[in-house]
Amino acid sequence: MTSKCDLENTNVIYYYTCKDISNNAVTNGSTPWCEVANPPPQEVMTNIKIQSFRDLNPSESTTNMNPDNFKCEVVATPVQTHSKIERERMAGLKRGMARSCHPMYNVNDAEIKNDFTCWYNGLITDEQGRKGTHPFKSVSGSLFSCDMGLDITDELMADIKMSAYMQAHGDSAGLNVADFACSVMSVPR
């Protein structure tokens, strides 16, 4: 089944059961799509009916198909791809929320406020292309986390370093997230 959706942006899988009312034959399957909608978009329904016709009549051309002969029940199931979770994580970090607040990233759910100061210990390239270190350059901020307890977990430290990296414009400056050293003070809200 073809679609205009890029699988990188798949947000939903539509599971379907279709019945050909002309002969009572039943088929089922699934198709990925970019957006959740109820009812599914017309293009999705058309693709589902064409695929159902092909499944039931593999030797016939779809030009012989009557889409009205197919009655389909469709259920949408949202998916969480790794890239989607990472995009949500980055959006959460931009809003000052750690990944422990996934999937809602609601500040009202935050249990702990983590105030941090991070120093970059790696090599920095200046405007003239010279490499060096700048150990006194620091980035400070706060990151809310939604887990209970004041422990600084590896996951939370990774989020704090990524937040510092984003504040320092690390992608354009060519910085390495692992080269940040951070001091964190966690307090309950």
Per run of 10 residues, the mean pLDDT along the chain (length 189 residues) is: 57 89 90 82 90 88 84 86 78 91 84 94 84 83 88 92 92 89 93
Whether pTM > 0.85 for this model: the answer is no
Its sign, for the CA torsion 28, 29, 35, 36, is positive
Rounded to an integer, what distance in angstroms lies between the CA atom of residue 121 and that of residue 34?
Answer: 41
The DSSP bridge pattern shows strands 131-132 and 112-120 to be unpaired
| pLDDT at site 26 | 92
Domain parsing of the chain, residue ranges:
9-78, 96-188
| pLDDT at site 2 | 46
Q: Which helix (H) or strand (E) holds 26?
A: strand 25-33
Rounded to an integer, what distance in angstroms lies between the CA atom of residue 106 and that of residue 92?
Answer: 9
| pLDDT at site 6 | 61
| Beta bridge partner(s), residue 118 | 139, 182
Q: Are 83 and 119 in contact (CB under 8 A)?
A: no
Rounded to an integer, what distance in angstroms lies between the CA atom of residue 25 and that of residue 21?
Answer: 7
| pLDDT at site 9 | 65
